[in-house]
Amino acid sequence: MIQKERKNALCRDKTSGWEKLNTEEKEKIFKFSDEYMNFLNQAKTEKEVVQIAKDILQKNDFVDIHEKETLQPGDKVFSINRDRSLYIAVIGEERIENGLKIVAAHGDSPRIDLKQNPLYEEKELALLKTHYYGGIKEYQWPNIPLSIHGRIVKTNGETIDICIGEKAEEPIFTISDLLIHLAEEEQMQRKLKEGVRGEELNVLVGSIPCADATIEERVKENVLKLLYEKYGITEMDFMSAEIELVPAWKARSLGFDESMIAGYAQDDKVCCYTALRGILNVTHPKNTAVCVIIDKEEIGFVGVTGMYSKIFDTFIANLLDKRKQNQPNALEKTFSHSMAISADVESAYNPSFSSNFEPYNTAYLGKGLTVVKYGGGEGKANSSEAPAEVVAELRRIYDEAGVKYQACELGKVDKGGGGTIALTLANRGMDVIDSGVPIMGMHAPYEITSKFDVYQAYKGYEAFYQS
Ligand code: MN
Ligand code: MN
């Protein structure tokens, strides 16, 4: 439709998505973005994403699959894997083995994790040792307000979830960099990659000594006392804990025109949220629609809650069982007839670092959902390249739904690359293609998206589930 209206209809459309929008469409985009920013502010870790997604699902009549003996077309179910990943389905009219329409996003994001023995004292200061999670530029993480989100599990099975630093009245934490006045001789001579090293990412957490002057390390003791009083935990309990430090700031509208969003963890909460909102609108699809929010993408899709995990297969086998359609090879047949979108962010052109991008094949903020035939760098290494037929099918779906999209790859050919969970889905025998939201400053504590693109993801994923 859009194509015919344009003068030079033989050329691809390179216009900004903001052009030709009427006031009503613009209002819808801004309203959706407010809801998305609200989600970002509540869901900063993989467990929080799953928890909040569960609340949203239950409010929209989705039920835990374990509460269902059998499944009928139109039923809406979900299953949670160890509080860290989530599988959602709306049962279609077709037999399950005729294929699924899957949108898979990841709920984990780069962050600063605590080590197992984190707490120490030096010169009457208490600090925490960390081991960062995912690909970060270490120098970006000092001198910003950090909040602590975590789970501590005691040997009696008791689980304690903590969150400190998100509310205005709560303290925050920070990693302090060396002052410029003393940095010239050594630190400023390092390569940027080494500017701040992993072992220098130590978090400042206390400076008041405990009252008992007879013991050593009184500041550390005081911190432990406070933790024991508030949470009933001891130093040993850090051993069986997952404590994550993330930027304490909120997602905000960006720019004079408020067209963009700056926020932590948009990789890949932006696709989690839009894929989730999309499936809420799905009723009686032809094929069964599946939304996956997966953990451990940032460290290689591994682990029991990652996309390689067979727990996903178990969920689909469960759908087959409860539809009374399970038989030998039904799962394999289902996968081989399925189509999946690996819903993940793609780098957006940054004018300040233009030499790293190839301008004809780069994503731009505000020009729509990305369609990425292949990832990988230096000869498409390790990418799961989508067959042309699959790209065409996705184009057809987006065109029919009036969704704006752009073809792109990460950066210049020999500049490097990045992988997504696409390959884990392709390995299972399904057609898969990467399609997500362009993002500026990927993996930085503050990442930037366009409100227009976020809305295109929502509309695009919804159309895909229903196709
Ligand atoms: Mn990602
Ligand atoms: Mn990432």
Torsion of CA 135, 138, 139, 141, to 10 degrees: 90
| Res 417: pLDDT | 75
Q: What is the distance in A from the centroid of ligand 1 to the CA of 344? A: 5
Class (C level, CATH) for 8-109+264-466: alpha beta
Of the listed ranges 57-61, 72-76, 373-377, the least confidently predicted one is 373-377
Cα 446 to averaged position of ligand 2 atoms, centre (Å): 13
pLDDT digits (tens, 9 = 90+) for 160-169: 999 999 999 9
* Ligand 2: centre distance to CA 138 (Å): 15
pLDDT surpassing 70 at residue 31: yes
State mean pLDDT over 445-459.
98
For residue 344, give the ligand nearest its CA: 1
Task: State how far the Cα of 100 lies from the Cα of 286, in Å rounded to an integer.
Answer: 9
Helix (H, G, I), strand (E, B), or coil: what is residue 64? strand
Distance 448 CA to ligand 1 centre (A): 14
Predicted pLDDT at 83: 98
Nearest to 409 by CA among 368, 367, 438, 431: 438
pLDDT at residue 4, as a whole number: 55
Distance of CA 367 to the CA centre of its chain: 21
Percent of the chain beyond pLDDT 70? 99
- Ranges in the chain annotated CATH 3.40.630.10: 8-109+264-466
Ligand 2: centre distance to CA 265 (Å): 9
- How far is ligand 1, taken at its centre, from the CA of residue 421, in Å? 9
Ligand nearest to the CA of 346: 1
Distance 443 CA to ligand 2 centre (A): 6
- Residue for token pair 């009245």: 169
- What spacing in Å lies between the alpha carbon of 139 and ligand 2's midpoint? 17
- Mean pLDDT in the chain? 96
The reported pTM is 0.97
pLDDT digits 0-9 by tens, 404-431? 999 999 888 888 777 889 999 999 999 9
pLDDT band, very low/low/confident/very high, at 384 (cuts 50, 70, 90): confident
Q: Report which bound ligand comes closest to the CA of 422.
A: 1
Let me know: does 450 contact 406? Beta carbons within 8 Å.
Answer: no
Amino acid sitting at position 194: E
Of the listed ligands, the closest to the CA of 269 is 1
pLDDT at 8: 79
- R_g of the chain computed on alpha carbons: 24
State the residue for tokens 């090879």: 329
How many angstroms is it from 259 CA to the middle of ligand 1?
22
At residue 243, does pLDDT exceed 70? Answer: yes
Q: How many other CB atoms are there within 10 angstroms of residue 45's CB atom? A: 22
Cα 347 to ligand 2 centroid, rounded to whole Å: 10
Binned at pLDDT 50, 70 and 90, residue 383 comes out as confident
Q: Which ligand is nearest to the CA of 434?
A: 1
pLDDT per residue as tens digits for the range 274-328: 999 999 999 999 999 999 999 999 999 999 999 999 999 999 999 999 999 999 9
- DSSP label at residue 323: T
Average pLDDT over residues 226-254: 97
Nearest CA to 333 out of 103, 147, 95 is that of: 95
pLDDT at 378: 80
Ligand closest in space to the Cα of 135: 2
Tens of pLDDT along 173-224? 999 999 999 999 999 999 999 999 999 999 999 999 999 999 999 999 999 9
**Ligand 1 geometric centre to CA of 267 (Å):** 5
Per-residue pLDDT, 184: 97
By the CB criterion, residues less than 5 angstroms from ion ligand 1 are 267-268, 344
Work out the average pLDDT over 93-112. Answer: 98
Dist CA 267 CA 433 (whole Å): 17
CA distance linking residue 217 with residue 209, whole number of Å? 8
Domain with CATH 2.30.250.10 in the chain: 111-247
CATH code matching the domain that covers 111-247, chosen among 3.40.1710.10, 2.60.40.10, 1.25.10.10, 2.30.250.10: 2.30.250.10
Strand 339-342 relative to strand 100-106, pairing: parallel
- What ligand is nearest to the CA atom of residue 105? 1
Closest-approaching ligand to the CA atom of 442: 2
- Residue 321 Cα to ligand 1 midpoint, Å, equals 32
369, 456 contact by CB (below 8 A): yes
User: Residue 5: its pLDDT value, please?
Assistant: 63
